[in-house]
Homo-oligomer: A and B are copies of this chain.
């Protein structure tokens, strides 16, 4: 329940001074999200711009047949929200759920805009969050097109090994764009080598 991590997070971006980081952090509200609880459910408007201090979360949508498709996995140090719903004030098509007990700090859309207005430097931070998310998604898209499922799995194992300890393989499989059956076979093949 101590805001030091939040202050450090803003300051470490090198986009705001330490005193500004304190001012920003002061506007955030503490939040505890127990395992399996939803930060956002589809149909609602994303209104919590959450800095995740501890824990793991997953975002997922439903395809036309009603199957869950993981769209993202989030870990501590990341800002968690649904970009399109949050900024356009439209109903979210995605859900965000805690994979583990989570702790974080959030502000609402109105508060965020207020903060952008009061502390213009903070806008740079807002932009960097968007740009980072955009770049990651683009990299993933390229991987979907140019790499095999096995290569995508190995890359995920390397960059996000913790996920495998917190999410069932079925959720990870849909994130990789394959079925849990295929993922199981890929893991079997790799274990032989």
Query: How many chain copies?
Result: 2
The answer to whether the Cβ of A1 comes within 8 Å of any Cβ in the partner chain is no
CA distance A135 to B141 in the complex (A): 13
A→B interface (CB under 8 Å): 61, 63-64, 67, 69, 71, 83-84, 87-88, 116, 120, 123, 126-128, 130-131, 133-135, 137-138, 140-142, 144-146, 174, 177
In the bound complex, residues from chain B placing their C-beta under 8 Å from that of A84 are 131, 134-135, 138
Partner of A134, one of B126, B127, B134: B134
In the bound complex, residues from chain B placing their C-beta under 8 Å from that of A120 are 120
In the bound complex, residues from chain B placing their C-beta under 8 Å from that of A134 are 83-84, 130, 133-134, 137
A-B contact pairs, 30 of them (CB 8 A): A61-B142, A63-B145, A63-B146, A64-B146, A69-B142, A69-B145, A71-B138, A71-B141, A71-B142, A83-B131, A83-B134, A83-B135, A84-B131, A84-B135, A87-B131, A88-B135, A116-B123, A120-B120, A126-B127, A127-B127, A127-B130, A130-B130, A134-B134, A137-B138, A140-B141, A141-B141, A144-B144, A144-B145, A144-B177, A145-B177
